[in-house]
Amino acid sequence: MQPRSARIVGWGYYAPQRVLTNADLEQLVDTSDEWIRTRTGIRERRVAAPWESTTSLASVAARRALAVADVDPAEVDLILVATVTPDYQFPSTAALVKEVIGSPRAAAMDLAAACSGWVYALTSAHAYVMSGMYRTVLVIGAEVLSRVTDFTDRNTCVLFGDGAGAALVQASDEPGGGLLGFELTVDPSGAYNIWVPAGGNRNPTTPATLERRGHYIRMDGRETYRYSTRTLASSALTAIRRAGLTPDDIALFVPHQANIRIIESVAKQLGLAPDRVYVNVDRYGNTSAASVPIALSEAVERGRVQPGDRLVFVAFGAGYTSGAAVLEWTADPAASARAAAIGPDVVVRAPRDWTADDPTPPELRPFFAAREEAAARREEAAAGSSADEARTASPGSATPTSVPTEVHA
């Protein structure tokens, strides 16, 4: 029996703890906090720790989405991971996520549509569920863009950050809710305006590609900006019309968080007031396929989404890809609280015949090394102070021994 709707029943996100500020970037390239903020709206972005990867970020977000939905991982039929920064060329990141979260019967695959990836994956999940093929699909957007960002290029290094967001889409026998309309497009004329030249089979890794820094993102920012403002608005409007709605019917616009100027331009073209647009680009930067699901999860968590609301998700990215989806929300936002019990520590099985080096970009290592050393000194000082207080309170008691805890991620 085919379901009558495919609804989002769980959501979750994860952003690494390391923060890279505009002030940090001022020390690396010829830029300034004022220049970055006025042109992009970005104040800071997150950077994955050495032990973190796209798989680990995606797995935390997925576990939180499952917790919010109160669904056992064993019930998941399919895992879709939208990413352009997989852990490896193969196996897929989705396969590794399946192992981490413990979904024994799920099919799993990656989807590459750059910043539009999660919207593409969401429409795919809808199709799988409404066809009756699967009932429960995990839709994840996850990126570790810091590892393909050139931190000597001031035009791109200010833009990107790391993170993951997830939604659980499930079949419902009740009518209404779920996806109401969508639009997916690709214009390959701009394919080389946002790209990574080397590392694929056209330009495999060689000393020459490394010397030319061909393994990092390259972007024609001016042309991409012009194209994206037009395409995001037209894609969103097409999806809204296909849903049988108008922009006035939309409670919240959840756009790809690439640039505040782009977001404001598109909102203006759709006639949406600022209070109907969710923005968090200032805190995360452009996290590509993770951008929309992180924003959605935050919006629900902060009470910006209620049952019955019509939402629009829209994104634009390399390819040029564009995706927009209109969805009617049905879940209880209070369920967001369940995600709090899911910590950021996950265990990703390492390969037996390969030892990874620290993948943190070398330009960023001094910032984080200094901060982590300072944090360790503060913790040591705090522990010593606590021990002194304990001895003062109970002079005859022995000083407790601190036992280190192993943390996996």
Lowest mean pLDDT among 5-19, 319-333, 392-406: 392-406
Number of domains comprising the chain:
1
Which segments of 102-243 does DSSP mark as H helices, in order?
Answer: 117-130, 207-211, 221-242
Q: Which two tokens stand for residue 136?
A: 């429960």
Q: Which pLDDT tens digit goes with each residue over 173-184?
A: 999 999 999 999
Give the residue with greater pLDDT, 134 vs 409: 134
Judged against a pLDDT cut of 50, whether residue 404 lies above it is answered with: no
User: Per the domain annotation, does 375 fall within a domain?
Assistant: no
Catalytic option among 22, 115, 126, 280? 115
pLDDT at 393: 64
- Peptide bond between residue 293 and the one before it cis (omega within 30 degrees of 0): no
User: Per the domain annotation, does 50 fall within a domain?
Assistant: yes
User: Per the domain annotation, does 334 fall within a domain?
Assistant: yes
Q: Which pLDDT tens digit goes with each residue over 197-214?
A: 999 999 999 999 999 999
3-state class of 165 per DSSP?
strand
Catalytic option among 22, 126, 157, 256? 256
What range defines the domain where residue 18 resides? 5-341
Residue with tokens 């019509």: 310
User: Per the domain annotation, does 263 fall within a domain?
Assistant: yes
User: Per the domain annotation, does 267 fall within a domain?
Assistant: yes
User: Per the domain annotation, does 404 fall within a domain?
Assistant: no
Judged against a pLDDT cut of 50, whether residue 398 lies above it is answered with: no
**Per-residue confidence at 391, pLDDT binned at 50, 70, 90?**
low
**Strand spans (E) along 296-357:** 310-317, 321-328
Q: Which pLDDT tens digit goes with each residue over 93-111?
A: 999 999 999 999 999 999 9
Pairing relation of β-strands 162-172 and 136-144? Answer: antiparallel
What predicted TM-score, i.e. pTM, was given to this entire model? 0.93
CATH number reported for the structural domain that contains residue 234 in this entry: 3.40.47.10
- What is the arithmetic mean of pLDDT over 109-131? 98
User: Per the domain annotation, does 234 fall within a domain?
Assistant: yes
**Per-residue confidence at 219, pLDDT binned at 50, 70, 90?**
very high
Pairing relation of β-strands 78-82 and 136-144? Answer: parallel
- In whole angstroms, give the CA distance from residue 74 to residue 168: 13
User: Per the domain annotation, does 166 fall within a domain?
Assistant: yes
256 an active-site residue? yes
